[in-house]
Chains A and B, each alone.
Chain A
Amino acid sequence: MKILVCISKAPDTTAKIAFTDGNTKFDEAGVQFIVNPYDEWYALVRGLELKEANGGTVTVLNVGGADSDPIIRKALAIGADDAVRIDAETTDALYVAKQIANYAKENGFDMVLSGKETIDYNGSQIGGMVAELMDVPYVSLASKLEMNGNTAIIEREIEGGVEVIEVNGPFVLSAAKGMAEARIPNMRGIMAARSKPLTVVAASDESSATVIKGFTLPPEKSGCKYVDTAEELVALLHNEAKAI
C-alpha cells in the first residue's frame, strides 16, 4: 500500500497572532512552527498504523520553502518512511492543491491523506481540490478508516451523526478527531529521521486564484461583568443579554 500524507506548517497553537507589512502578512517573529495538528495527529498516525498492519510505505509531502524542513523531519521522526518537499512559496489553496495533485498523479498512490483543515487559514479546501484534480473520490472529515483488501471503509462526520462509506480504488481523505491517537516521537525515531530521504523537487508552473488583501484582529471584549450570585447572573442573562 502506497500512502501519501500531506502535511502543512502551522504556527504553534499558543503563538501570538499579529501582522506586519500594513496588516497584510502574518508576523512570524518569535513564532514557533509545528506540523498542523490534524495532519500529524490523525492523518499521519493513521497512515502509519495502516502501513504497520498491511505493509507498504508512508511518504509525507509538504509544499513550501526550506523553512518547512524542521516540521518534515518531525513527521519522519514519528515514523514516515520518506519525505518530499515541493519547493514553492504557497500562494493559495488551489496552487498548493495543483502541486500535490501533479506529484500524486505522477507517482501513483493508493490513498492521499491530510488533516481536515489547517489551524491558520482554516480553509478545509486542499483535499477536495486534490481529489478533483486526480479525478478520484474524496471523503472529508473522516473519523475512521479501515482497509479491507482494496476497499476502504470510512466513517465521516455529518450533522448529528456519522456516515459509513465504502470506496474502491484510490481516494483522498481529510482526517478529523477519532481517526488515531497522537504519537510522540522517541529518541530512536528522531535519530533515524536524520538519515531518511527528504527529496526537494521543483514546483510546477501553476496559477493561484485568490490573494489575501489584509488581516484584522477581532475587537477586544468590552470587559467581564463580575457578579456575586447565580441568581444575579441568571437575571442579567435574561434581562440584559437576552440569552435565556
Chain B
Amino acid sequence: MSVLIYADSNNGALTKNAFEAANYGAQLAQATGTDAIAVVAGTASGLEELGKYGVSKVMHVSDASLDNFDPQKIAHVVAQATSVTGADTIVFAHDYTGKSVAPRLSAKLDAGLVSGAIALPNGNVVKKAVFSGKAFAEIEITTAIKIISVLPNSVDKLEIEGSATVEAFSVDLPSTGITVKEIKKESTELSLTEADIVVSAGRGLKGPENWGMVEELAKELGAATACSRPVADIGWRPHHEHVGQTGLAIRPNLYIAAGISGAIQHLAGVNGSKVIVVINTDAEAPFFKAADYGIVGYAFEILPQMLEAIKKLKA
C-alpha cells in the first residue's frame, strides 16, 4: 500500500505539474497513513526537490530513450513501478503527458481512472468537473488499484517537510513504432493555459486592426491574449487563441473579456477563472451574469483607459 506519483520531466527538469501531482499524492498518502513514492522516466536532475513536496522516495529510470514522447514506454515504466511498490493509488497530472499515459495505464492494469480531479479523494470517490465546467461529478473507483489525474492549478499546495531518497530503477523497455521528429515552440508568448491573467476580445472589437489595445493591455499586465471562436474563424486572430467549449479551456486568476457576448459555449471554456471582468456595450449581454466586475461601455474607450490606470497604479 502506497501512493505512486508519475512525475513528468521536460528537458531534464521536473515540470510544475509534476510537483503539483507529487504534492497531491503526498497529501493523499499522509491522509491514509502511507508513503508517497514518485517515479521519473528519462534524463532528469534535481529529483530530491520532490522531498519538499512530501515524497519520500523517487524511483528514477534514467534510460535516455524515455526522453522523448512515448506513452507506451512510460505506461510500461509506471506499471512496473506499481508492481514493485505494491501501490494501490497512482497519480498523474491531467496535462498533455498525463492525458496520453494515464488511460493506457488504466487499460493495462484494468484499474479505474478519474481524469481531471479537482480535490483529494473522499475514500474511493473523486470529484471532477463535467459538462465543460457546467457541473461536477463525484465518481467512485471500484477497482483495487485506482488512478487519478489531477487538473493543474486546482488543488491547494500543502507544505510537507521531508526529504526524498533517489534510487535508480531499471526497466526493460518494449520497442514501439513511434518517433519524435521535431519540437516546434509556438513562440515566446506566454502560454494561454499557464497564464495567470488573460485579456480576451470578441466580435465587438469590429476588426483585427483594433487588437493593438488588447495586446498592449495584456503586455502591461503580463497577460496572455485570447479570443472568441468567430474571431478566430474569420481570421482576425490565430486559432490557438480560441477559448471555449470547442477551443482551449482555461482557468486563469483573472479573465478580462471585451466585446464578447458570453455565449454558453464561450463560458464553458472560461468559467473556471477566479475573477471575470466583462466590458460590453450591451447591458443585457449574457456574460454579465457570469462576471464579477462589469463595465457597460465601449471597449475602444475602456481598454486604453484601463491601460493608463494600470500604468498609474504601477508608478
Q: Which A positions have Cβ atoms within 8 angstroms of B?
A: 11, 13-14, 17, 19, 37-38, 41, 92-94, 97-98, 101, 119-133, 136-141, 153, 156-169, 171, 177-178, 208-218, 221, 224-231, 233-238, 241, 243-244
Closest to B190 in A: A160
A-B contact pairs, 7 of them (CB 8 A): A121-B137, A125-B115, A127-B103, A128-B107, A129-B104, A208-B142, A234-B306
Contact of A164 among B70, B176, B182, B305 (CB under 8 A): B182
**For residues 154 through 198 of chain B, which have their beta carbon under 8 Å from a beta carbon of chain A?**
176-186, 191, 193-194, 197
Please report the number of residue pairs spanning A and B whose Cβ atoms sit closer than 8 angstroms: 268
Q: Are A237 and B293 in contact (CB under 8 A)?
A: yes
Which residue of B107, B139, B176 has the most chain A CB atoms within 10 A of its CB atom? B107
Residues of A within 8 A of B178 (CB): 137, 139, 165-167, 171
Q: Are A17 and B135 in contact (CB under 8 A)?
A: yes
Q: Are B115 and A123 in contact (CB under 8 A)?
A: yes
Tell yes or no: B245 within 8 A of A by CB.
Answer: yes
Which residue of B70, B99, B125 has the most chain A CB atoms within 10 A of its CB atom? B99
Minimum Cβ distance to chain B for residue A25 (Å): 11
Contact of B295 among A11, A119, A139, A227 (CB under 8 A): A227
Instruction: Bits for B279-315, please: 1 = Cβ < 8 Å to A, else 0.
Output: 0000000001111111110000010011011100100
Q: Are A224 and B113 in contact (CB under 8 A)?
A: no
Distance of A124 Cα from B117 Cα, bound (Å): 13
Q: Are A224 and B265 in contact (CB under 8 A)?
A: no
Tell yes or no: B271 within 8 A of A by CB.
Answer: yes
Residues of B within 8 A of A218 (CB): 133-136, 271
What 15 additional pairs, Cβ within 8 angstroms, besides A216-B135, A216-B138, A233-B293?
A13-B264, A94-B107, A101-B107, A124-B115, A138-B71, A140-B96, A161-B183, A163-B180, A177-B246, A210-B114, A213-B139, A216-B136, A226-B296, A230-B309, A235-B313
Q: Are A214 and B138 in contact (CB under 8 A)?
A: yes
The 4 A-B pairs of least Cβ separation, nearest first, read A128-B103, A209-B112, A230-B305, A132-B107
Minimum Cβ distance to chain A for residue B109 (Å): 10
Contact of B141 among A122, A178, A210, A216 (CB under 8 A): A210
**For residues 61 through 79 of chain B, which have their beta carbon under 8 Å from a beta carbon of chain A?**
69-72, 75
Distance of A19 Cα from B135 Cα, bound (Å): 10
Q: Are A212 and B138 in contact (CB under 8 A)?
A: yes
Closest to B111 in A: A209
Question: Is the interface on chain B under 10, 10 to 19, 20 to 34, or 35 or more residues?
Answer: 35 or more
Q: Are A160 and B185 in contact (CB under 8 A)?
A: yes
Residues of A within 8 A of B239 (CB): 177-178
Instruction: Bits for B256-278, please: 1 = Cβ < 8 Å to A, else 0.
Output: 00000000110010010011011
Q: Are B138 and A243 in contact (CB under 8 A)?
A: no
Contact of B313 among A127, A156, A228, A238 (CB under 8 A): A238
Instruction: Bits for B6-22, please: 1 = Cβ < 8 Å to A, else 0.
Output: 00001000010000000
Q: Are B113 and A119 in contact (CB under 8 A)?
A: no
Minimum Cβ distance to chain B for residue A210 (Å): 4
Which residue of B72, B112, B268, B293 has the most chain A CB atoms within 10 A of its CB atom? B293
Tell yes or no: B95 within 8 A of A by CB.
Answer: yes
Minimum Cβ distance to chain B for residue A214 (Å): 5
Q: Are A233 and B306 in contact (CB under 8 A)?
A: yes
Q: Are A236 and B136 in contact (CB under 8 A)?
A: no
Minimum Cβ distance to chain B for residue A90 (Å): 14
Residues of A within 8 A of B140 (CB): 210-213
Please judge, given known A-B contacts A123-B115, A230-B295, whether A215 and B309 are in contact too, CB under 8 Å.
no
Residues of B within 8 A of A19 (CB): 135
Minimum Cβ distance to chain A for residue B115 (Å): 5
Distance of A14 Cα from B295 Cα, bound (Å): 26
Q: Are A224 and B176 in contact (CB under 8 A)?
A: no
Distance of A51 Cα from B48 Cα, bound (Å): 51
Residues of B within 8 A of A141 (CB): 96, 99
Tell yes or no: B60 within 8 A of A by CB.
Answer: no
Q: Are A165 and B130 in contact (CB under 8 A)?
A: no
Tell yes or no: B108 within 8 A of A by CB.
Answer: yes
Q: Are A243 and B253 in contact (CB under 8 A)?
A: yes
Q: Are B132 and A140 in contact (CB under 8 A)?
A: no
Minimum Cβ distance to chain B for residue A91 (Å): 10
Q: Are B103 and A224 in contact (CB under 8 A)?
A: no
